[in-house]
Amino acid sequence: MRNILVVTGTRAEYGTLKNIMYEICEDNELNLQLIVTGSHLSEKYGYTINDIVDDGFKIDFKVPILMDDCSKGSIAREIGLGIIQFSQCFEKLNPDFLLIMGDRYEIFAAAITAMFMNIPIAHISGGEVTEGAIDEQTRHAITKISHVHFPGAEYYGENIKKMGEEPWRIFNVGDPGIENIRKTDLLTKREIESDLKVKIDKDTLLVTYHPVTLENKDIEIQISNLLQALNILNKTVIMTYPNSDLGSDYIIKELVKFSNENDKIHLFKNLGSRRYLSVMKYCGAVVGNSSSAIIEAPYLRIPAVNIGNRQKGRLKAESIIDCSNDCEDIVLAVNKALSGEFKEKAKYAKSLYGDGNTSKEIVRILKSLNIDEKLLKKKLV
């Protein structure tokens, strides 16, 4: 029996990991181990560990690695404390593989721990580019200390090769976000409206705006421009909290104030994967700077407006409109996205992130790889 340890720290990451976790649980040759950390354990972000429990997963350890203070120093200290806690958990679990996704600082701490404990690391979603966020550095750092790579697109696999990773370590399995859509029993329009107590129409906007961590000095004007644009647009808005990054406290404060003053703005700490995707399916457009606008929205044939630099560099379908953080640009982009002509164009946009068979491929590969000197000894090519 091979132990596969998964570490998850955010709602979005878990939503795309859970089908892989189910696949591991169903395999007779693999055993799922699970550590929950990050914003999953924060009441401020919806205490989303409950979603994991409700999905039937057994949690082996909880690792608090998020302080309410998301300052530069606090996050750096939490990474250090996380490494200490992860090392203790890893010693008890003795995993054969650490399976992680993305570029969060919590995941970075887990990866560093596994590297120094000589535990093979399998990394999902490496090779991607997000020039506006510090995640860019952490993602590439995780790639360089990982032993197996599961990029979401062939182009990203080529980026991993350019970083000096051996081609035999790279498996283009597609993005798990696409599989999550295919396997999720989405709510009907009536069900999601009843659940959220919000009427969703052809102009409803699904909005998520995360801190742009390499542009933190501009966060006040960025949020001011976004909220001003939403006021001008005067559409029904379903909005979620940002990630727990530097600057998120300010964004949350402004969103709460804005939603309290405008009855068309409906703010949620966390919708969960099923409700979020259900809203996306029926909304008029996805707006903000979340990766869900880049990966999931095109698959559902929904127009998306990508604001600013946070997702700069990612592969983007024709149904995505890039715009600056200027209020006027946001208004113009959203109106274009909601136009009949562009919605028709979005219906034929091609998804760039695979066909949705990710979990079976990842499980097959994790079972077949030999854990030997060849796997553990990294070298440049």
Asked whether the predicted pLDDT for residue 21 surpasses 90, the reply is yes
* pLDDT band of 301, cuts 50, 70, 90: very high
Task: Determine the Cα–Cα distance for residues 370 and 321; give it in Å rounded to an integer.
Answer: 44
Task: Determine the Cα–Cα distance for residues 75 and 249; give it in Å rounded to an integer.
Answer: 13
pLDDT tens per residue across span 44-79? 888 899 999 999 999 999 999 865 555 667 888 889
Evaluate whether 41 touches 62 at the Cβ level (below 8 Å): yes
**pLDDT computed for residue 156 by the predictor:** 95
Asked whether the predicted pLDDT for residue 132 surpasses 80, the reply is no
* pLDDT band of 380, cuts 50, 70, 90: confident
Residue with tokens 């295919």: 182
Find the mean pLDDT for residues 15-39: 95
Asked whether the predicted pLDDT for residue 86 surpasses 60, the reply is yes
Number of CB atoms found within 10 A of residue 83's CB: 18
Asked whether the predicted pLDDT for residue 217 surpasses 80, the reply is yes
**pLDDT computed for residue 245 by the predictor:** 80
Average pLDDT, the chain: 93
**pLDDT computed for residue 243 by the predictor:** 86
pLDDT tens per residue across span 188-208? 999 999 999 999 999 999 999
Helices (H), the chain: 11-26, 49-54, 72-93, 105-116, 135-145, 154-162, 176-183, 189-196, 219-233, 248-261, 272-282, 292-299, 327-338, 340-346, 358-368, 373-376
Task: Determine the Cα–Cα distance for residues 251 and 240; give it in Å rounded to an integer.
Answer: 11
* pLDDT band of 169, cuts 50, 70, 90: very high
**pLDDT computed for residue 286 by the predictor:** 98
With a pLDDT cut of 70, the percent of the chain lying above it is: 98
Q: Which of 217, 263, 209 is nearest to 240 (CA)?
A: 209
Q: What are phi and psi of 233, to 5 degrees?
A: -65, -35
Find the mean pLDDT for residues 124-150: 90
Asked whether the predicted pLDDT for residue 319 surpasses 60, the reply is yes
Asked whether the predicted pLDDT for residue 33 surpasses 80, the reply is yes
Find the mean pLDDT for residues 334-346: 97
Sequence-ordered list of residues with C-beta below 8 angstroms from that of 260, at least 6 positions apart, any chain: none
Lowest mean pLDDT among 42-51, 53-62, 336-345, 371-380: 42-51
DSSP designation for 319: T
* pLDDT band of 356, cuts 50, 70, 90: confident
Model-wide pTM > 0.85: yes
* pLDDT band of 379, cuts 50, 70, 90: confident
Hey, which residues does 122 pair with through a beta bridge?
Answer: 99, 148
**pLDDT computed for residue 143 by the predictor:** 97
Domains, the chain, with CATH or none: 2-175+354-376 (3.40.50.2000), 186-346 (3.40.50.2000)
With a pLDDT cut of 90, the percent of the chain lying above it is: 81
**pLDDT computed for residue 374 by the predictor:** 96
Asked whether the predicted pLDDT for residue 248 surpasses 60, the reply is yes
Sequence-ordered list of residues with C-beta below 8 angstroms from that of 68, at least 6 positions apart, any chain: 42, 44, 249
Alpha-carbon distance values, 155 to 162, 177, 181, 350, 352 (Å): 11, 17, 22, 15, 10
Task: Determine the Cα–Cα distance for residues 127 and 92; give it in Å rounded to an integer.
Answer: 31
Q: Which element (helix H / strand E) includes 148?
A: strand 148-150
Distance of CA 94 to the CA centre of its chain: 27
Residue 249 has which token pair? Answer: 């406290």
Sequence-ordered list of residues with C-beta below 8 angstroms from that of 243, at least 6 positions apart, any chain: 10, 12, 39, 104, 210, 211
pLDDT tens per residue across span 278-300? 999 999 999 999 999 999 999 99
Residue 313 has which token pair? Answer: 């560099």
Find the mean pLDDT for residues 147-155: 95
Alpha-carbon distance values, 63 to 16, 38, 45, 79, 141 (Å): 20, 8, 16, 11, 22
Lowest mean pLDDT among 9-18, 146-155, 329-338: 9-18
